[in-house]
Structure 1
Amino acid sequence: MTEAPTDLAEEVREQVKDRGSYHGVIDRLNKASVDKHWEAYVDIPWDDPELQIDPNDPRWILGEMDQLGRTEWYRSQPVEVQAQIGLWRVATAMKIGLQFENLLKRGLLNYAYWLPNGRPEFRYVYHETTEECHHGMMFQEFVNRTKMPIRGMPRALTTLAQVAPWIPLVNTELFFIFVLGGEDPIDYVQRKNLKGGHIKHPLEEMIMKIHIAEEARHISFARHYLKHRVPNLSKGRRRAIGIASPLILGWMARIMLSPPGPMVKRFNIPPEVVREAYKDGAHMDEVSDSVGKVRDLMAELGLITPVNRRLWKALGIWDEPKARRTSGPRRAAKAA
């Protein structure tokens, strides 16, 4: 059994000056996956009494960081109802996470299928796919143990999302932007919750720390792949990626951070409370912040232009990239 990580793992951040430095990053990631990995049914003691899930456990109550948790309506509910809503939110995030990772794994394998012999990406893709399989198992085991009717993505969205695994056959760079669009918002929220001390239940904390540790490697691979590939693309392909990126990121971030419809219906959450929690400026800032690292990467790669910047702004996910950000207030930067 491997101990759950105690510190939050950080991404690999290196300059990709040439093919050799890019391969060096992949070698580091491959070694890290061999040296430190977790298995869903080996490294999580699911039957430990301290890790059991009780829907009425007050440790599931949403904290001040959560937009719904701040509303007067939520705070006025009985403690048991507050706990059940909090657990539903956690379980839904895990269900959506495993559904996204299902799409990701199929896309990764489509990408790996066509790699020539000797390519170092092949081995790393299989390490990542293995780790994502364990993530899916631990997320689903958590959902099963809540005994709640958690659905995850809406049915129409699930049907539409089935195109994602085929993107690598057309445009691998766009696929890895899709990967970051799903992984970065989850990583952002999980890190913020853990650093802020908002995670109270030990099972949720253990799962989050394992997920963050391995996702740091997955995000690193996608980021360095794009740094290696995008500068050599034709102007037409770069222009297409520049337009598609904000559409993908805006869509993915909202899926990850919006309230699940079945939860709203189950607990009779009034429409005005949903609007208060998820349509105000604070929530939109959260959505924008969750894709901040990908947005900075897009700027670094020269994929943000005066034309497609309007699309970022229209989707509510624009902020000045760090490299160009001034010392003025954040709101002023957003309005620029």
Structure 2
Amino acid sequence: MTSVAPESDLDPIVEEAMQYAGKLMLLSEGSVNKHFDPFEDIDWDNPDFDADTKPERWILPESADPLGRHPWYRALTDAQKIAIGKYRQSNIAKVGLQFESILIVGMVNYTAFKVANGDKEFRYCSHEMGEEINHTQMFQEMVNRIGDDVPGMGPLTKLIRFVALPVANAFPNFFFMAVLAGEEPIDHIQKDILRSGEEIHPIMRGVMSIHVAEEARHISFAHEYLKHHVPATGKLNQFGLSLMMPIIMFILGRSIATPPRKFFDEFGIPDSVRKELFYGSKEAKQVFADYFVDVRALAKELRLMNPVSKAIWKLLGIDGPSSRYRSEPIRSALHNKVA
């Protein structure tokens, strides 16, 4: 006699909501059980952590940085490479600080004024904001230790901070898409550097290791949030989100991954090199598109990949294959060559 597993008596919507709540509890417990403090877990006062100790460790890794492998940079003296490397890594940290500050502004208002009493999103988002505040301290300490007066984002990109709050309150699904648009490129860049196998300064390694570890939860939450909320919206709303998703990935992704004009002017980097690196060459375009391999998989799962939205992904040059699972290593020969 063949036994048949009993079907759930729960309404599918109720069952999905319970599963979502369970995932939020797992993420919240992860924040409690495994978290970091930048002033306890990074040995800032260790002599080896001094920014000027073995400064050659600031030379940009050839296998993980587009500027680091460019012939123009490779032809410089070690002193010039070190100066550019310190400035570049410091500016990346400042961009991370600014983006996470924008995220906190939107998320704290979303949780305080949009999340219902009893909703487990409140607890998890509160954990995440606490971690993000620690990250801003960590990034600023790295900037201070290096000592370069870096601007972080470019002047136009900094204007994003004025729309974070109204967008989070009025369009939370779009807000969490924007969160992914900033988090995914930073995560990919830092993982590439950590996986490169090249010697990097311990300040950078310590900061990136903590950030990558905790950012995994934050990215997971944004994915789960969208999986839970987007299907509950109307078809017209979903169509609008499908069009905006590639646009916000392109705009914020470029803003996060591209150094400000001041960086190129400061070190006399030729315009031809700047254009080739960001994003004139085929290799550079591919690396940028690869930042969104997980986001494209999410878009497919959410049924936001329709003929019109696919055309936008392609038009912006960020189309391509999607990952089979989140954080799947990119195995393409082109990516391995340039990243």
Number of residue equivalences: 311
Which letter maps to 2:271?
Answer: P
Residue 185 of structure 2 is aligned to residue 202 of structure 1: no
Tell me what 1:316 maps to: 317
For residue 146 of structure 1, what is the aligned residue in structure 2?
146
Letter in 2 for 1:95: K
The question of whether the paired residues in 2 share the 8 Å contact of 1:239 and 1:303 is answered with yes
Structure 1 residue 49 corresponds to structure 2 residue 47: yes
1:21–1:70: structure 2 CA closer, same or farther, 3 Å change rule?
same
Equivalent in the alignment of 1:221 = 221
Opposite residue 312 of structure 2, the aligned amino acid is L
Distance 1:215 1:122 in 2: 18
Root-mean-square deviation over aligned CA pairs: 1.8
Normalised to the residue count of structure 1, the TM-score between the two structures is 0.88
2:29 aligns with one of 23, 31, 37: 31
With 256-265 and 79-88 compared, the bigger mean Cα shift is at 256-265
> Could you say if the C-alpha distance between residues 293 and 157 of structure 1 is closer, same or farther in structure 2, counting changes exceeding 3 Å?
same
1:262-301 map, 5 Å: 262-278=262-278, 279-301=280-302
Alignment of 1:246-261 (within 5 A): 246-261=246-261
Percent of counterpart pairs with the same letter?
Answer: 38
Write the distance in 1 (CA, Å) between the matches of 2:102 and 2:53.
29
Paired position in structure 2 for 1:83: 82
Q: 2: CA distance between counterparts of 1:199 and 1:259?
A: 23
Aligned: 1:237 with 2:250: no
Give the drift of 1:205: 0.7
CA distance in 1, matches of 2:295, 2:182: 11
Following superposition, the deviation at residue 25 of structure 1 comes to 0.7
Q: State the TM-score, normalizing by the size of structure 2.
A: 0.87
**Amino acid aligned to 1:40:** P
User: Residue by residue, what CA displacement relative to the aligned partner does 1:30-63 show, whole Å, maximum 9, x if unpaired?
Assistant: 1111111111222222111111112981111112
Q: Distance in 2 between matches of 1:175 and 1:246?
A: 13
Q: Map of 1:1-150 to 2, 5 A cutoff?
A: 18-54=16-52, 57-65=55-63, 66-114=65-113, 115-150=115-150
Alpha-carbon distance in structure 2 between the residues aligned to 1:155 and 1:195: 32
Superposition map of 1:319-330 within 5 A = 319-322=320-323
Judge conservation of contact 1:110–1:166 (CA < 8 Å) in 2.
no
Deviation string, structure 1 residues 97-143 (Cα, Å, up to 9, x no partner): 11000010011111101222111110111100000000000101111
- Structure 1 unmatched runs, 5+: 1-15, 324-328, 332-336
Taking the aligned partners of 2:33 and 2:322, their CA distance within structure 1 comes to 34
Q: Equivalent residue of 2:68, what SS?
A: helix
Q: Is the 8 A contact 1:23 1:120 kept in 2?
A: yes
User: Which residue matches 2:169?
Assistant: 169
| Alignment check: 8 A CA contact 2:181 2:248 kept | yes
Aligned to 1:302: 303
Q: 1:250 Cα deviation (Å)? A: 0.5
C-alpha contact (below 8 Å) 1:37/1:214 kept by paired residues: yes
> 1:277, CA displacement in angstroms?
2.4
Given the superposition, is the C-alpha separation of residues 199 and 297 from structure 1 closer, same or farther in structure 2, using an over 3 Å criterion?
Answer: farther
Structure 2 unmatched ranges of 5 or more: 1-13, 325-331, 335-339
1:199 positional shift:
5.1
User: How far off is 1:166 after superposition?
Assistant: 2.0
Instruction: Give a deviation string over 1:166-208, Cα, whole Å, max 9, x none.
Output: 2121111111111111111111111121112245111111111
Distance in 1 (CA, whole Å) between partners of 2:321 and 2:219 is: 22
Larger radius of gyration: 2
Alignment match, 2:3: none
